[in-house]
Every structure is written in C-alpha cells, then in structure tokens.
Structure 1
C-alpha cells in the first residue's frame, strides 16, 4: 500500500521521474540561495526578481513561442536589468532601493502579463506563471540540472566570503576580501536559477522553494551550514510531497510544492527550537537545567 502511494508513481511513469530529477536539482540549490537571501535580508529582493523575469520571458514567448532558450535568455536579461536599474535609481535619487525595486517589479509583472496576452491565451500565461513540472521536457531538464551543478560549484568558491560578509563586512573590507565580486556572483546565481526554474515551477512559484524552506530552517538550526543542509532537505521533501499530492489528487504541482513548504514553515514558527512560538511562550522547560 505504501509502495503504491510513494514509489509506484516514480517507477511507472517517466514524466514523474523527470519531475523528480528537476525537483532534486532545484532543491539542492534552493537551500544555500534561500539561506543567504535571508541572512543578507534580501528575501523580498528574491521575490521581486522572480517577478521581474516575466517581461523577458514574455518577449521571448512573443517572438519565438514556447521556446526554452529564447524565454530563458529573455528572462535572464530582464532580471539582471531590473536588479541594476533598481540599484542605479537608489544611488542617483533619494528613493530607497527596496522602493525602486518594488516599483520596477510591478511594472515588469504587468508588462509581462500584457505581452503574453497579446500572443497567447490563458493556458500559456498559466504555464509561464506557474510552470509545468509534470510535462518538463528533456532540454529543460538538462538546463535545470546544469545550472544546479554550476551553481553548487560557484557556491563552494564564494561560500566563505559570503559568510564573512554577512556577519563582519568591515573585517572583509579590511583584509581586502572580494565582497563586491561575491555579491555580484550571488545576484547572478539568483537570476540564473530563477530563470532555470521557469519551466518547472513558473515565475511566481520559483522563489517560494528558496524562501520558505530557508525560513523554516532558521527555527531549527543554529549554524549557517546547518541551515543550508536543513533548507535543502526541506525543499526536497516539499518537492516530493507536492509531486505526489499533484499526482494522487490531480493538483497543479507548483502550488502544491510551495504550499507543502509553507506548511513546514508554519510548523517551524510554532514548534521551532530556535525562537519558535512555543519556546518563547513557555521558556521554563529548557531553563530548569
């Protein structure tokens, strides 16, 4: 019975196996990305960049249809453009960067929806916004896996610099660390992984697997390495549970995955040992020793 519920779908159907590989690849990178977005107080920026991808993806779709590479290149260009423009507006005017980023991503989101509507239909729009994990093709799967591998290698190179910059940026500057280069590499990693996740989770869902497991991990782990490992694990479990839920109950996989991650976050807020509600409201139990 348990085998029929949890194993048979992946054994019997190739589309489920492809979706599982995509979920594993996305989850492994979502862990470190989400943790550093949280540590650097950039979670809302990650969400804004996910929305900012849409006009580039829409232009690629408008010109070439549902072509993977055209949509990916368009999304990457749009994402990096919004990130650079928001920084430029913040530095050249009195507007704060979070406000300029919010304004640009709203414009981007509306523009993208409008462009898709001019060429396609509601189904095409839903495909771009929410992904099509259960119908992911071979080319898209190769892209997701390749980006995951390159991202993990890059993280291994810049990991120490990112950690030091999060906790002691003055020391990093004093010793001549490459903080700016690491920050730019981190932003590029966010953009590239969001674009690669379009086919699987869509522009609106891709950032959810980064932010929610990382936020949940913060309530359990006390070290950066621990948060990264737990965040990746929660992302993977959320992905598998969401896939199985979408298969057994005929639900869209992207929202199902994000809602499972949201449930893990809600439980962590309540019961987490690192500042969870129960621990804060009833602190006596662990102070008696």
Structure 2
C-alpha cells in the first residue's frame, strides 16, 4: 500500500479526490435543493457531444466537454423560472445532444468506442488539466457559497420568496447551473459519467439527513464525501478493484448508514416522549 501511495498517478488521484470533495458535494446540495437531478444526465449527453467534437477537430476532448456543458448550463438557465421549469428543457437537451453526438461520430472517422470510453473515466487516469479544473472548482464553489450563502438558502428554499426578498434569482440561477454543468463535466475523469453521483448527489443526500441549515448540510456533505471517497479509494487500492464502482458503492453505503442511524434516533426520541397527562374531570 505504501508503495502504491508513493506512485505519481496515485498521488495525483488523491489530490483530485481531495479537490473534488471540497467542491462537488456542495454542488450536490444545490442539485437536490433546486430539484434538478435530471441535469446530471443531460450534461452527460452534452459532454459526449463535446468529446466527439474534440476528437473530430483535434482539440482536447475534456476541454470541449467543459465548454459544451458550460454553454448548455447557461442556455437553459432562463427556463428555470418558467411554469414548466427545467424538466422539459433537460429532456430536449438530452435528446438533441445525444443525436448530435452520434451524428458527429457517424459522419467522421472518429472512433466511437474511444469517445464512449472517455465517459467511463478512472481516477487513476487524471492528468494535470483535470486536476487544474477540479482545483478551480474547489476554490470557486466554496467562494460562491460563502459570498451568497443567505441568497442561496432563500433560493433553495423557495424561489418566489427569494424573488420577493430581492435576491438576484436569474443571475444566481445562471451561475449555479453553469457550476453544476462544469462540475459534472469536470468529474467525468474521476468516476465516469454513470458514476458521477458518488461525488455529488450521494454525499448531499446523506447530509440532508444530518444538517438543519444550509451551512450545516454543506459541511456534512463535504465530510461524508471526504470519508466515503477516501475509504473507497483505499479499498480499491488494497483489493485491486476498479476505483469508480468502489467509490459509488462506498458512498451509497454511507447514505444507507446515515439513514439507518437517523431513523433509529428518530424512533428512539419518539419512544421516550412522555404521553400527555389525562385531562381532569
């Protein structure tokens, strides 16, 4: 184990996981709070389109995926306040993105299996550019959270109440959706598109059971993500298993454990509540 941890790819992977743990669980809190869970799937399709365009043009596929996701997040932001919300927009975006990606792959000499392989990802394949993106997210996401924490709390609680309170809802929603899109694209190398929830959504789901305020939920999400990611990564190294699935299973196990603990505490608390005294006659 000591020899493995001393290898450069493993050390870079640990740094990437550390940076991801600082930023992505907080993004997961935003996803859960805004109820935009389908955005993950939409951005996975958009990332595939960006990868296909990158392979076709000779540009960096990861950078093209980031740009495509950022533009898509900004493009759908104005629809957040419409009666239909983002659900319809997400479905349309997924359909158009996957169709465009398949078209690009079919009319060019791009290796389709290679493009799809990039979506699976591996934490041990993180390079310097991936690490730079995650480090930037680790700075920007906490900074935005600290700067606009009260506005975020209002927006995640009730959009109309936030508007009445003078919160710049449109600009804040735009910034959040772009960050969500960038976070999904930036974490593809770590776990792959299908396993991105281990870094974003799963820690946030556990934190919702533990925190009582937006700040406490965000801190719990980071803490759960840190423990789950570190444990999963070390288990993958110790037993020579693929890191991505192990990270997801570990994070999922943490969510189930938190659910059982909080449910038991809740039932125990109710079991000790004294029954009201009978009314005098």
The correspondence of residues 241-252 of structure 1 with structure 2, limited to 5 A, is 241-252=231-242
Give the whole-Å Cα distance in 2 for the aligned partners of 1:286 and 1:44. 41
Offset at residue 205 of structure 1 (A): 2.5
Deviation string for 1:122-151 (max 9, x for gaps)?
35522x212121021223212221232122
Give the whole-Å Cα distance in 1 for the aligned partners of 2:34 and 2:174. 13
Q: Does 1:224 align with 2:214?
A: yes
Offset at residue 209 of structure 1 (A): 1.5
Deviation string for 1:133-180 (max 9, x for gaps)?
102122321222123212222222222211122235444333422122
Give the whole-Å Cα distance in 2 for the aligned partners of 1:227 and 1:89. 23
Unaligned runs of 5+ in 1: none
Give the whole-Å Cα distance in 2 for the aligned partners of 1:82 and 1:188. 5
Deviation string for 1:35-90 (max 9, x for gaps)?
1221222223234333332211221123226x2xx532344324533663596599
Aligned residue in 1 for 2:87: 98
Q: Does 1:173 align with 2:163?
A: yes
Aligned residues: 273
Q: Does 1:112 align with 2:101?
A: yes
Q: Does 1:9 align with 2:4?
A: yes
Off by >6 Å, runs of 4+ in structure 1: 280-283
Give the whole-Å Cα distance in 1 for the aligned partners of 2:84 and 2:30. 25
Unaligned runs of 5+ in 2: 276-281
Alpha-carbon spacing, 1:249–1:51, altered in 2? closer, same or farther (3 Å): farther
Q: Does the CA contact (< 8 Å) of 1:50 and 1:206 recur in 2?
A: no
1:131 aligns with one of 121, 124, 139: 121
1:20 aligns with one of 14, 23, 39: 14
Q: Does 1:31 align with 2:21?
A: no
Offset at residue 8 of structure 1 (A): 5.4
Aligned residue in 2 for 1:268: 258
| RMSD of aligned residue pairs (Cα, Å) | 3.1
Q: Does 1:287 align with 2:277?
A: no
Q: Does the CA contact (< 8 Å) of 1:53 and 1:79 recur in 2?
A: no
Offset at residue 34 of structure 1 (A): 1.0
Give the whole-Å Cα distance in 2 for the aligned partners of 1:121 and 1:249. 32
Alpha-carbon spacing, 1:167–1:140, altered in 2? closer, same or farther (3 Å): closer
Q: Does 1:234 align with 2:224?
A: yes
Q: Does the CA contact (< 8 Å) of 2:232 and 2:246 recur in 1?
A: yes
Q: Does the CA contact (< 8 Å) of 2:137 and 2:183 recur in 1?
A: yes
Give the whole-Å Cα distance in 1 for the aligned partners of 2:4 and 2:261. 32
Offset at residue 185 of structure 1 (A): 1.0
Alpha-carbon spacing, 1:96–1:189, altered in 2? closer, same or farther (3 Å): closer
Offset at residue 284 of structure 1 (A): 4.0
Alpha-carbon spacing, 1:78–1:168, altered in 2? closer, same or farther (3 Å): closer
Q: What is the TM-score with the length of structure 2 in the denominator?
A: 0.82
